[in-house]
Amino acid sequence: MDLKSNHTPVLTDTAPITKSRLHVHSSLLPYSHAGATFPHGMLLTIPRKKTGILEDVRSSGWLDAMKSSSPPPRNITKDVSNGFASSEADTASSYFTWLLKYPSALTSFDQITNYAKGKRIALFMDYDGTLSPIVDNPDCAFMSENMRAAVKKVAEYFPTAIISGRSRDKVYEFVGLTELYYAGSHGMDIIGPVRQSVSDNHPNCIIRSADKQGKEVNLFQPAAEFLPMIDEVLKSLIECTKDIKGAKVENNKFCVSVHYRNVDEKNWDLVGQRVNDVLKCYPRLRLTHGRKVLEVRPVINWDKGKAVTFLLESLGLNNCDDVLPIYIGDDRTDEDAFKVLREGNKGYGILVSSAPKESNAIYSLRDPSEVMEFLKSLVVWKSSSLKSLI
């Protein structure tokens, strides 16, 4: 089959957020095993998304989307009588109003742990913007030693996985912990425990491999057939953006990220147009956007939400009413995971954001420092619970 054509790629984004949020902050969701699950024989049946026509990247919708992921600095006017900047006051007011809808996971910690009593917590987290700060150079998105220690400790008590848009190897280099499970390329490259039922039923997507310590693991790569195409596009994107100051193309194995964080805003449309021009010949690739980044991904029906479900099954924790999955993330792509947990009443999504925005999450945390505090609180709560049983 010819992987190229003269059609333009489809513009897709994460699943739309429903208008009704059911006000879940006022009463905890009951756990249910119904919802987003994958029965055997269907777990890894991954249909291709339909391709379509992408409007010119300079159209208002796409360029506005690029701008919305990186809002310009606010104009601050000084309120002399009250002694504070009015813009800051407005921002604080809107954030506190937003917290009524997405309450802090720290202030709601007792509520979360009360519901978690008698359940096994499974923890899933994004990396950039969640465990590490967003930085200008994506190669320098290092997590602090304190954060690494907090993640290592929480993994001693709960199954813990990191699901990132980065390549799996890159995330492992940043984190450097063998106690975790890693999913790179938005869940298209997962390393997990060996389970006979999963491996034998889906030999085309899962292969036996070994981790850094030589331990046998399952390696799940539903987009393996796209690797030659991704490599080809990677080279083209590097070549066509090399004259745009500040643009950076990152190889994330099963997807390619084009960062425009350091590009002058007047050239953002140029970045988008160059990317679009390359993708016109690749209808089996799609274009999405994140926080100051354009991402080229295979057109398959797979995302972070499905990665969470796959990992739960791999861990033997799916369809169990004594399991409480918690997903912490800050990006648009994390909404797929939030949506899976919300729709199935399976667990809690926690959005990391210091600015108000709509989400499928139930709770919120302001920044990575609050994420670390939440992880430490989980450890204290669990260790205290275990001691009370002695």
**Catalytic positions, please?**
126
Using the structure block, give the residue that is written with the tokens 């993708």: 279
Give the CA dihedral 159, 164, 166, 167, nearest 10 degrees: 40
Rg (CA), the chain: 21
Give the CA dihedral 166, 246, 354, 150, nearest 10 degrees: 40
DSSP 16-68: PPPS--TTTTSSPPPP-S-SS---TTTTT--PPPPP--PPPTTSHHHHHHHHH
* Residue 52 token pair: 């379509």
Nearest to 301 by CA among 281, 326, 284, 316: 284
Contacts of 176 by beta carbon, 8 Å cutoff, 6+ apart: 148
Q: CA separation (Å) from 128 to 88, 329, 347, 352? A: 26, 9, 22, 11
* Residue 326 token pair: 């918690």
